[in-house]
Chain A
Amino acid sequence: MVRTAKDIDARLYTILYKISDPEIPALSIIDLGIVQKVTLEGKHVEIDITPTYTGCPAMDSISMEIRYTLEQYGYSCLVNLVLDPAWTTDFISDVGLQKLKDYGVAPPLSTEKDKRVLYDGERLVPCPRCNSTNSKMISQFGSTACKSLFQCEDCMEPFDYFKCHK
């Protein structure tokens, strides 16, 4: 079950919201949907986070940053990496999707459209700059595991597309 943001203690929510994915700094770990469970007992916090991609190297640094940040606020903290529930792009919040777009990364399409785009070369991904769907895939694999590289053939902007991961 995906924990929605409102299940998290309000004080902790505000603190955690400030922590972002180091590879996509526009996205808070809350909006990214990797924070699964937060339990608070007195001043001790236990947090479960689920990695986006199996090999995601940011998880270690995110764990450290969570612990460090909470310690600055006077909490003691234990961060657990859990594999279940397995993260999917569905976990990204609506705010997160918009922030991705503002940052210049096209948010993930539905599973079905994603396949058509990546494997059949269909032009469905809207350019984050000009919104045109006249975009072509340059590379299925981009600079990070979650992204593909596209180019808009209308305004010529190269951009990253966040792949559907389900």
Chain B
Amino acid sequence: MNLSLENLEKQFQDRIDAGDNIEPKDWMPEKYRKTHIRQISQHAHSEIVGMLPEGNWITRAPSLRRKVALLAKVQDEAGHGLYLYSAAETLGISRDELFNQLHTGKAKYSSIFNYPAVTWADMGAIGWLVDGAAIINQVMLTRTSYGPYARAMVRICKEESFHQRQGFEIMLTLSKGTAEQKEMAQDALDRWWWPSLMMFGPTDAASTHTEQSMKWKIKRKTNDELRQQFIDITAPQAEFLGLKIPDPALQWNEERGHYDFGEINWDEFWQVVKGYGPCNKERINARVKAWDEGAWVREAALAYAEKKDSIQKAI
């Protein structure tokens, strides 16, 4: 049997084309491994950084019920992050390295979290729109080729559906509440709408990586397709809430069978991706601070475990 690299790669791609899952102990091309480390770890980073805008509001949640729901949501995100870091680590990278990449800006996280959570209504908007957009991206990944990632996505999607419902429910409560509350909800929608659309990335024409990603089933639909799907689902929800999406060009197009929508501010998109959004620095600083200030704790835990181990061995 000819085991040349070319052959191995072809057999590997054949497996993927046939719908096989690639598992951690299978042979895989180096590029596949590296791409998945990047993809999975950036997903994990997004969960962790995503804890910050919401974590910000836990101490000020307006009722015990909302506080408990928000605490659980943030815990869920941390748990998802941990799960994904574990999956990335099996591909050959350490936790230290992963955090180092995040802290130095080598690895990215979802840009949406570079926007500030300014009012309580932002908790509703984030759940409804940001989780909503994330789910659409993630559902696609439930059939991605790398087994642990696909299986993680199945569970994460289901859990995030609950979060999204809760976010929507916050918006509903506000929009049916007092005039002040409705205004708060509308204001949050105004600020989070366009950044949520940007979560789907640049237009197809401006996208790189797409072909390889399609082959490995990391992407199954294009950015524009997913963005359109999100708008089509969400626009009627905004109507139900009695809120107005801040896009004068948003309109149902009977012929296309989709909503038409306005032009995204791509300057803003690229600025935020490059690091010049409202809170890029704050987000990273918060993570770096937590990690650096926690160094003595981690060292202590390690030292203690080693001491216990050597005592065990001596016995």
Contact = CB atoms under 8 A, between A and B. Distances in A.
A55 B65 CA distance: 10
B27 to A, nearest CB: 14
Interface in B141-161: 147-148, 151-152, 154-155, 158-159, 161
Contacts, number: 79
Contacts of B71: 55, 57
B162 to A, nearest CB: 4
B165 A61 contact: yes
B148 A156 contact: yes
Interface of B is mostly: helix
Nearest to A103: B155
Given A144-B75, A156-B25, A156-B90, A61 B155 contact: no
Chain A interface extent, by class: 20 to 34
B68 A139 contact: no
Nearest to B24: A156
B87 A158 contact: yes
Nearest to A156: B24
Given A55-B68, A155-B23, A158-B148, A143 B86 contact: no
A138 B24 CA distance: 18
A58 B147 CA distance: 29
Interface string B78-116: 111011001100100000000000000000000000000
A147 B83 contact: no
Contacts of A149: 79, 82-83, 86
B83 A57 contact: no
A61 B161 CA distance: 13
B86 A104 contact: no
A142 B151 contact: no
Nearest to B158: A25
Contact of A104 (B79, B155, B159, B165): B155
Contacts of B159: 23, 143-144
A158 B79 contact: no
Interface of A: 22-23, 25, 55-58, 60-61, 103-104, 138-139, 141-145, 147, 149, 151, 155-158, 160
16 contacts: A22-B161, A22-B165, A60-B69, A104-B151, A143-B76, A143-B79, A143-B83, A144-B72, A144-B75, A144-B159, A149-B86, A157-B24, A157-B147, A157-B148, A158-B83, A160-B155
9 smallest A-B Cβ distances: which pairs?
Answer: A143-B79, A156-B24, A22-B162, A158-B86, A57-B72, A57-B69, A156-B90, A57-B68, A143-B76
